[in-house]
Amino acid sequence: MKKGSKPGILIILLLLVMAALTVLSYVGIKKKCEELTKDKVLASEDLDNAKNRRISLVAQLQMLTSEERISGIAINELGMKKRTEPVIEFKADNDKIERISRILKEKYD
């Protein structure tokens, strides 16, 4: 080989190594992107499943805490009776309420 062809061979060899590294890094990045896309799809499916489970649990809670169900259990299984009259009866004097309201209003104005 001639003395002048050594730098040309080095340049070609260097270009081939750079091209190989570029191709390898492209393949690696593409593979990583595919993995991340797959992870994103799986996470989205998990999120959808969790949302569906939450909706199911809310519906079940509403069913279990409904007034009709609780009243039925109280009457049929526990032998309780439905109250017909109120236990405590409050009576208030309208004049007294207005007087107190006026005093408070004057105090905070």
Tens digit of each residue's pLDDT (9 = 90 or more) over 37-54: 999 999 999 999 999 999
pLDDT of residue 109: 72
| Alpha carbons 58 and 75: distance in angstroms, whole number | 25
Angle of CA points 17, 19, 12, to nearest 5°: 55
Please indicate whether residue 4 or residue 11 has the higher confidence score (pLDDT): 11
What is the spatial distance between Cα 70 and Cα 61, in angstroms, rounded to a whole number? 12
Calpha distance 95→101 (Å, rounded) = 10
Distance CA 60, CA 52 (A): 12
